[in-house]
Amino acid sequence: MNPYGIALTLVVFYAFSELHRRKRAFYTNPVLLSITAIAALLWAGGYSYESYMESAVILKFLLGPAVVSLAVPVYKGRETIKAYAREITAGIVIGGTVAILSAFYTAKLFGGAEEVLLSMTPKSVTTAIAIGVSEKIGGIPALTAVLVVLTGILGNAVGVELLNVAGIKDRIARGLAMGVTSHGLGTARIILDDELAGAVSGLAMALNGVFTSLLLPYLIEVLK
Amino acid sequence: MKPYRGLAIIFGFYALGEFTSSALDLPIPGSVLGMLYLLAALLGGAVKLDWVENEAELFVRNMSIMFVPPGVGIITYIGLLKSQAVPVFGALIISFLITLLVTAKTVELLRGERK
């Protein structure tokens, strides 16, 4: 195993995280900038993805335990979940299903290829879970990873403004919409405005991940 | 050594989740099953929050760097992405708008009805 892939990832990600810490803006998203920079470096140097992944794969492997760890914030939020059980259930079942169906059918309407449609369906779910789901349903995990990050960036950039324009004032509704639609990056944005909405958003992100991973493999058989 | 206890629990539940997923040939990722097992163990009291809290939070807080290697895989699909740019980006934006507004409206209606 070579040390280059993992070293490159850590150095690049650290540099962009520092940039993001200094200039907090949606366009300094360290994940998207790191993916773009590393992809450009590999392309310019004529290196293959396989040679990069020979050691960077360790980081990808850690997504598994990271998803397992999401049980802790859900457990700590159990009182909030109980207090808003009805809203959270409705928001996740309806929002989570709408996210899948709207992605699938709009992409199909625009003439998307089947593997593209499949890769799009988990795009509102937190990346760690989305990559696993994409693999399971025959999508392209790399495309899913990029689409999830872009969805998160959209939510981070314009989600709160859109909710304002649409006249959504209810804090629980705002939190659920952000968490269900744009996972961690949406949560990171709304928590700056409102702590309660942020907490609900974080729980919605985790629960929607579970809901989507349970529903999607079966739903996809019907959609295909 | 305390961190080892937390890591042992997290990796143990991950392994158990992967095992269930492959043994029963389920379409659900093993990591999600592992998360449900750990949640059940916390709720049931078999695992104390204090045993796993710090290690789990370390993983959750640092999750984003783990998306980079799979994301870089996009370079092997540049051709596909170019030919599919309209369906991909069109659906991304439209689906985002629909999901955000439908979810917010649904929950708001539900809340209004209760008041």
What per-residue confidence (pLDDT) applies to B50?
96
The count of CB pairs under 8 A between chains A and B is 312
Domain-by-domain residue ranges, chain A? 4-67, 71-223
Based on the domain organization, do B7 and B52 belong to the same domain?
yes
Contacts of B87 in chain A (CB under 8 A): 106-108, 110-113, 116
What does the alpha-carbon distance between residue A128 and residue A18 come to, in Å, rounded to a whole number?
23
- B57-115 pLDDT, tens per residue? 999 888 888 889 988 998 988 899 899 999 999 999 999 999 999 999 999 999 886 55
Residue A50's CB: how many other CB atoms inside 10 A?
A: 11
Q: Which of A17-31, A173-187, B93-107 has the lowest mean pLDDT?
A: A17-31
Q: Which of A64, A75, A176 sits opposite B39 (nearest CB)?
A: A75
For residue B64, the model assigns a pLDDT of: 84
d(CA A70, CA A126) in angstroms, rounded, equals: 11
**Is the same domain home to B72 and B42?**
no
Instruction: Tell me, yes or no, whether B1 and B55 share the same domain.
Output: yes
Last residue of a domain, one of B41, B61, B81: B61
pTM over 0.95, yes/no: no
Expressed in angstroms, the distance from the first to the final Cα of chain B is 52
- The number of domains in chain B is 2
Q: Which residues contact A150 (CB under 8 A, 6 or more apart)?
A: A32, A123, B92
User: What range defines the domain where residue B113 resides?
Assistant: 68-115
B7 shares a domain with B46: yes
Residues B92, B55 share a domain:
no
B66, B76, B77, B86: best mutation site toward chain A, by most A Cβ within 10 Å? B66
Q: How far is A56 from chain B (nearest CA, A)?
A: 6
Same domain? B114 vs B74: yes
Partner-chain contact A163 B104, CB within 8 Å: yes
Same domain, yes or no: B53 and B37: yes
ipTM exceeds 0.90, yes or no = yes
Q: Are residue B52 and residue B88 in the same domain, yes or no?
A: no
Chain A residues close to B17, C-beta within 8 Å: 68
* Nearest-by-CA chain B residue for A6: B69
Would you call A81 an interface residue with chain B, using a CB distance cutoff of 8 Å? no
* Whether residue B6 sits in one domain with residue B45: yes
Confidence tier at A192 by pLDDT (50, 70, 90): confident
B50 plus B97 within the same structural domain: no
**Kind plus residue range of the DSSP H or E element containing A152:** helix A141-154
